[in-house]
Structure 1
Amino acid sequence: MRQLEGKDAEAITQGKTEIKAGRPTKIEHRHPEDEMRAHFDKNSVNAKTWMNYFTIVSGEQQTMLYYRSHGFMFENDLARKLYAEIAEIEEQHVSQYEAVGDPTITPLQHATLLQLNEAYNYYSHAQAEPHEAIRRIWEQFLAHEINHVNMCNDLLLKYEKMDIRDLIRTDTIEPLIVFESNKEYVNDVLDSQLDIRPYNMQFVRESELPSSWASFRYQDIVNEGGAPSEIVETRSNATAQ
């Protein structure tokens, strides 16, 4: 924003989250085999795990689609390249988180759980919203999603002879999503996990990676012409000084 429009991004975040350097994007690129993850077992996880799963996958997919569908709108060539670079990373995130889910659930079970997750998200929003008018909006969306859950559950009963409670094995999903400051959490993650990398469907420290790690070569190829994010950061730092 500073380079293209001369504006400070803090005007958008308003101090609610920090704008700071994290793991460099150029080392985020990973070989496809390093995106594989061991999935959880639908018969042993609780309902909250399902909600976490669908929430993070949906959030990452929305982020990926944003960068994919808006990057070309910029006249500035570097901005387009930056969005393309970020979009690829976000696509990796989608693949990574999707792989965590149990692949043995049926399409109808998946659809029912997804609708339940949307209802869970809107209910959490409504419970945390202090503004009455906005809370009514969340409650309206919640009512729509509850209807969707019931429709999908009717199909489950009809075609698979099971109820959604057979999937989540509970009548209550706790805890709800809590909206609060993320600064301390993000800083803790950066301090403790900046050098963590995926290897053999596990996460290890970069110092523990073998020299044959597939993503090393993959990064060399992807970054051969330079990383747009590095150029943007260099220019941003120069402007700030």
Structure 2
Amino acid sequence: MAFNPLEHRGIPLEKQVRSWRELNIDPIDPDNADPYTRCRVITMNGIEVEAALFNHHLNRVCADMEVKQKLAEVRYIEQQQQKAVNWLLPGQSSVLETTLAYEQVAVDLTGWVARMEPDPYLKQAYEFGLLEDFDHLYRYANLFEMIEHRKAEEIVDGLTEVMPGRPTIQHHRHPADNLNEPYDRTTAAPLSKLHALTIMAAEQQTMNYYMNVGPQYMEPIARSLYQEIGMVEEEHVTHYESLVDPGETWWERLVNHEYNECYLYHSFMETESDPRIKAIWELHLNMELAHLHVACDLMRTYDGRDPESILAPELPTPVTFEPNKQFVRDLLATQIDLTKLGTGYVWEAHERFEKIQRELMGGHPPASEEVITEHRDRMGGDYRLETEGPHPVERLRD
């Protein structure tokens, strides 16, 4: 049945504060939980972090004390939600284990969005980033086996393949080539706006995670790999955030953020396999419904516009974590050599790309190449998890 968030009031804002005991939720079981439950947890953590950061930025440019007070109330609840969600991750999981889950999110969430995106230009942006995150999963999987002597199969459970994507060495571009043309807020489909916010927030959370956990390792190859891929995540955040129309007003952006949270919590409530976690998604959805109405009231007051003029009349098809193996393989076979030039996509390396490659490499291979070389030297080959037959590019080359 169609669900329109604007027709539901949710839990009143003044009744949403939870005690410490209520927030201290038992984490998921790292050995028995559905891998996609963990993916949903990681996704919603990124969404809640983006919600809080956006609210803070709005607070910094807002002069009206009554509005600032209302933003502070909502922001406090968003932060409680973030703690409840992120604390679902089990403490015994290593940083690398969680990293593999982050990259599984990047592959299968971006894959789903790319498949569903109605705008060809935006779809290309998601497909482009997907092949890079797919390669990151491969590099980290090889590091995981060398450092922890475990296989990524334990984490991704065969739902996501592990094999080379667009080589990470090719991800390092001139900063100007990470920009994209934004969608037009007056003509873009409401779904396109939700997609852009979702992937932007997920990549932002990955960027933040890597920049903080990378130095925790003692092994030089691990420190170097997190540093390198962390810089690619900076590129990805630029890549995705530039898709959002900068002409949107603060109030319009606030409404879109809150509507997107409703969309994702509703999606995950509908698709969650764990009843206990499903109840958390349902609770947070009912909180976000009230946040959405606060944002809509602010837009009516300060923008003089009706939120219904920019929102979909009902939530789109639920976002679903599911295997994207054939989709990824098709992209590997057709787009692996693609790169960026300005806001466009080209097949050949160009002068600006080659110049920054020389500056960054300094005549030496990066960690993303060294981790594979070291794995092959130690173990006689690289680690892969190919469930659908040989790598499509290598099959074509053969």
Q: Tell me if both proteins adopt one fold, taking TM over 0.5 as the criterion.
A: yes
TM-score with structure 2 setting the length: 0.57
**Which structure 1 residue ranges, 4+ long, deviate > 6 Å from structure 2?**
none
Q: Is contact 1:39–1:99 with CA below 8 Å preserved after alignment?
A: yes
Q: Is contact 2:178–2:342 with CA below 8 Å preserved after alignment?
A: no
Q: Is contact 2:179–2:343 with CA below 8 Å preserved after alignment?
A: yes
Cα distance in 1 for partners of 2:366, 2:242 equals 27
Deviation at 1:237, TM superposition (A): 2.5
Report the identity percentage: 32
Q: Does 1:219 align with 2:219?
A: no
Q: Is contact 1:47–1:173 with CA below 8 Å preserved after alignment?
A: no
Q: Does 1:235 align with 2:374?
A: yes
**What residue in structure 2 maps to residue 188 of structure 1?**
330
Q: Does 1:68 align with 2:68?
A: no
Query: What amino acid does structure 1 have at the position aligned with 2:300?
Result: L
Query: What amino acid does structure 2 have at the position aligned with 1:194?
Result: I
**What residue in structure 1 maps to residue 51 of structure 2?**
none
**What residue in structure 2 maps to residue 144 of structure 1?**
287
Deviation at 1:131, TM superposition (A): 3.4
Deviation at 1:80, TM superposition (A): 0.9
Cα distance in 2 for partners of 1:172, 1:125 equals 16
> Deviations along 1:75-130, whole A, 9 cap, x unmatched?
11221111010010011010011111111011221122111111111111111124
Deviation at 1:196, TM superposition (A): 0.7
Deviation at 1:17, TM superposition (A): 0.7
Q: Is contact 2:225–2:368 with CA below 8 Å preserved after alignment?
A: yes
Q: Does 1:124 align with 2:242?
A: no
Query: What amino acid does structure 2 have at the position aligned with 1:2?
Result: E
Q: Which of 30, 36, 59 is residue 202 of structure 2 equivalent to?
A: 59
Structure scoring higher RCO (CA < 8 A, sep ≥ 6) equals 1
Q: Does 1:95 align with 2:238?
A: yes
**What residue in structure 2 maps to residue 175 of structure 1?**
317
Could you say what the CA RMSD is over the residues aligned between the two structures, in angstroms?
1.4
Deviation at 1:216, TM superposition (A): 1.1
Deviation at 1:226, TM superposition (A): 2.8
Deviation at 1:64, TM superposition (A): 0.8
Q: Is contact 1:48–1:175 with CA below 8 Å preserved after alignment?
A: no
**Which residues in structure 2 correspond to 1:78-89 (within 5 Å)?**
78-89=221-232
Query: What amino acid does structure 2 have at the position aligned with 1:89?
Result: V
Cα distance in 2 for partners of 1:49, 1:14 equals 30
Change (3 A) 1:130 1:2: closer
Q: Which of 144, 153, 163 is residue 20 of structure 1 equivalent to?
A: 163
Change (3 A) 1:147 1:237: farther
> Deviations along 1:113-159, whole A, 9 cap, x unmatched?
11111111111111112433322111112112212111111111121
TM-score with structure 1 setting the length: 0.93
| Structure 2 runs not aligned, ≥5 long | 1-143, 381-398
Equivalent residues, number: 236
SS in structure 2 opposite 1:198?
A: strand
Q: Is contact 2:268–2:318 with CA below 8 Å preserved after alignment?
A: no
Q: Is contact 2:221–2:367 with CA below 8 Å preserved after alignment?
A: yes
